[in-house]
Structure 1
Amino acid sequence: MAEPDPQRNFRSAYYEKVGFRGVEEKKSLEILLKDNPLDVEKLSTFSQRFPLPSMYRIHVWKVLLGILPSHSDSHTLVAGYRREQYLDILQALEVMRFVHSATPPTHVYLRMFQLESRTLPRRCDTTDPDEEDEDFLAVGRAMEEIADDPVDCYWLIKCFVNQFNNKFGDSIPHLPKSLEHYLSQEESRLLNHLKNMGALEQLPYNLWFRRCFAGCLPESSLQRVWDKVISGSCKILVFVAVEILLSYKIMLMGMNRPEGVVSFLCKIPQENTDAIVTKAIDLWHKYCGTPMHSV
């Protein structure tokens, strides 16, 4: 059995101490991405355990969402098909005059999604977006900041929304109760305060759980949360919400009107969200453990 490499161990410890813990993880991910076919389960497990390096995030998301197949030698061909399909749908919407050159990209993506899912309204029936459409648009605006290419952006939004609804749709109504449970474990005084003023049932659950914090967290923090959602966990959303409440405990404890609480939580300060997400992920691992599959 080979002796441990003290120099390598020192490097790993040093990298972690100075904030470069991702160096070793990046190497592990690069090894996984050389497999052909790609092991989707191992990629999912990696994404559950570690933040994805930004240079690989879009690629891994596309594999996990099924936009690209596990066989790497087919990626170029499939990417070409995805682009052709995108252009065909866009052209159809232009011919039907549902979109034009001045239509905001996120609204174009919404119409494309509706056309593909056979929910496109008749032009005479088009009205303001309903709540479900607004959820889609919020996710779309956030994804626009993460993915540069409009073709990638559309497919990521579409497959993210579909996967989320299909996989977690039945779980979403139960997430507020989960939040109440974990908040009672971490800070019962805050929970009781929110209950007593009538704010608990009015918390922005739709923003947090239906939109997966799109429009609440900046994209630099949001994508670390979406790593976990895309790789198979909607429970991470609960712990982000819990950590937001814990982070602003003093401020919330000083409020006595539920509308003030909701107004603040819908527009939390953006400067410390990375720390909030880091603590939320630690809390998630504390209560839910980490995946045990080997990576």
Structure 2
Amino acid sequence: MSAEERNFRSIYYEKVGFKSVEEKKSLEMLLKERPLDLTKLRQFCLRFTVPHAYRSYVWKLLLDVVPRLVHIHDFIMSQRKQEFDDLYRTLGVLRIPPDEKAPKSEKFMAMWLILTGNLTFNFNIGRNEHGLGFLAIVKCLLHYFDDDVDIFWIARRLCENIMELKRDFPKLIDATHHLLEKENPQFYKILMQNGLLEKLPLDQWFDCCFAGVLNENCIIKIWDKICGGSYKILAYLATVTLTTLSHKIVNLSDANSITQCIQNIPEETADIIVNKTIDMWQHHGSPLTVHDRPKAI
């Protein structure tokens, strides 16, 4: 059988759902192991898209919300819920946010700020730079999952890992420059000559893992890779986003206009960008991280 025929069959099987069925069965087998093998689960996330029915559970395992010892999961989650409830009650005592009808995302952000010691008396959602990345991530997770305790703890652990990663943001930015120059040298040259690339909020995009930047239905496949340990995929995502929109970006004169252009792309385009990103990342050997995976506190 030729390579082209094999590729055609693979695409056909994926479209009719055979591939996803096999991946689901493989994941179910991994989740039956005792104790759970987190290395294998990370490898699964790096190779495949996690089925929605298992995503919250797998992410909690890989982000250290629950341990690999299954028999104590109920006890651990009861402790997680107790801490969540205590923080939520604290908001009521402090009357933060002032509006009781404030969205969950803002309340969860205030709870996060209490935990990190960054809550101030002049608390303002839009102006508190310490929690904006957390806020964006929570908004996306609220779109994916239903359990408030799971959402808060996944966001908390993910943000703790990102905080440890921030010292390597310059490496991610350098990787983005290198990839852009390699993939589209003429476009890269234009960006550099006009001083646009250095003005783009790459560090902010990395800080929130592109939450609120690209459509939330699409970036979840990128977050599977991040939970698997590959934070460097964010550099690939930045590269593919910019090169895909290069025909529009070359006509823009400032970084704010470019940011608005990216945030306004339709879901279909965002999905194409995410799929291209994963393909490029896999083509380059699927590098796991910029450094060793951050250990959650």
Tell me by how many angstroms 1:23 deviates: 2.1
Is the Cα contact below 8 Å between 2:214 and 2:263 reproduced in 1? no
User: Greater CA deviation, 12-21 or 280-289?
Assistant: 12-21
More deviation, 57-66/72-81: 72-81
User: Which secondary structure state, in structure 2, belongs to the residue aligned with residue 170 of structure 1?
Assistant: helix
* Alpha carbons of structure 1 residues 89 and 48: separation in structure 2 relative to 1, 3 Å: same
* Equivalent position of 1:5 in the other structure: none
Distance across 2 between alignment mates of 1:98 and 1:290:
42
Q: 1:250 and 1:19 mapped to 2: Cα distance?
A: 34
What corresponds to 1:214 in structure 2?
211
Closer/same/farther in 2, CA of residues 138 and 257 from structure 1, 3 Å limit:
closer
- Provide the rounded CA distance (Å) in 1 between the counterparts of 2:21 and 2:10: 8
In structure 2, what is the Cα distance between the partners aligned to 1:138 and 1:111? 13
Equivalent in 15, 19, 41 of residue 21 of structure 1: 19
Between the aligned partners of 1:48 and 1:183, the Cα distance in structure 2 is 23
Letter in 1 for 2:235: V
> What are the residue-to-residue correspondences of 1:36-55 with 2, within 5 Å?
36-55=34-53
Partner of 1:7: none
CA deviations over 1:58-116 (Å, ceiling 9, x no partner):
11001111111111122222222211221122112212322463232112112211222
Structure 1 residues 258 and 103: alpha-carbon distance in aligned structure 2, compared to 1, 3 A threshold? closer
User: Which ranges in structure 2 are unaligned for 5 or more consecutive residues?
Assistant: 1-7, 289-297
Note the C-alpha offset of 1:290.
6.4
The answer to whether the 8 A contact 1:240-1:280 is kept is: yes
Report the equivalent of 2:109: 110
Counterpart-to-counterpart distance in 1, 2:170 and 2:128: 19
1:96 corresponds to 2:94: yes
Q: Which amino acid aligns with 1:26?
A: K
Structure 1's 197 and 38: CA in aligned 2 closer, same or farther, altered over 3 A? Answer: same
Unpaired stretches in structure 1, ≥5 consecutive residues: 1-9
Two-structure CA RMSD over aligned residues (Å): 2.3
Change in Cα spacing, 1:36 to 1:188, as seen in structure 2 (3 Å) is same
- Range with greater deviation from structure 2 (149-158 or 203-212): 203-212
- Match of 1:66, as an amino acid? D
TM-score (norm 2): 0.86
Q: Does the 8 Å contact 2:232/2:287 carry over to 1?
A: no
Structure 1 counterpart of 2:157, from 153, 156, 159: 159
Q: Which has the larger radius of gyration?
A: 1
- Range with bigger deviation, 205-214 or 16-25: 16-25
Give the C-alpha shift of residue 13 in structure 1: 7.2
- Could you say if the C-alpha distance between residues 252 and 20 of structure 1 is closer, same or farther in structure 2, counting changes exceeding 3 Å? farther
Q: Quote the offset at 1:54 in angstroms.
A: 0.9
Which is further off, 142-151 or 57-66? 142-151
Q: Could you tell me which residue of structure 1 aligns to residue 200 of structure 2?
A: 203
**Secondary structure at 2:26's aligned position in 1?**
helix
Q: Does the 8 Å CA contact 1:32/1:39 hold for their aligned counterparts?
A: yes
In structure 1, C-alpha distance between the alignment counterparts of 2:123 and 2:57, rounded to whole Å: 35
Q: Is the 8 A contact 1:48 1:228 kept in 2?
A: yes
Task: Identify if the C-alpha distance between structure 1 residues 17 and 156 changes in structure 2 by more than 3 Å, giving closer, same or farther.
Answer: closer
TM-score, scaled to structure 1: 0.86
Change over 3 Å in CA distance of 1:260–1:118 after alignment to 2: closer
The one of 237, 241, 258 equivalent to 2:238 is: 241
Report the Cα offset of residue 230 of structure 1. 1.6
Match of 2:271 among 260, 274, 287: 274
Q: CA deviation at 1:266?
A: 3.7
Partner of residue 193, structure 1 = 190
Aligned: 1:80 with 2:78: yes
* Equivalent position amino acid for 1:67 in 2: V
C-alpha separation in 1, matches of 2:277 and 2:31:
27
8 Å contact from structure 1 (residues 229, 236) kept in 2: yes
C-alpha change, 1:138 and 1:17, in structure 2 (3 Å) is: closer
CA–CA separation in structure 2 for the residues paired with 1:17 and 1:132: 42
What amino acid is aligned across from residue 186 of structure 2 in structure 1?
R
Does 2:67 align with 1:69? yes
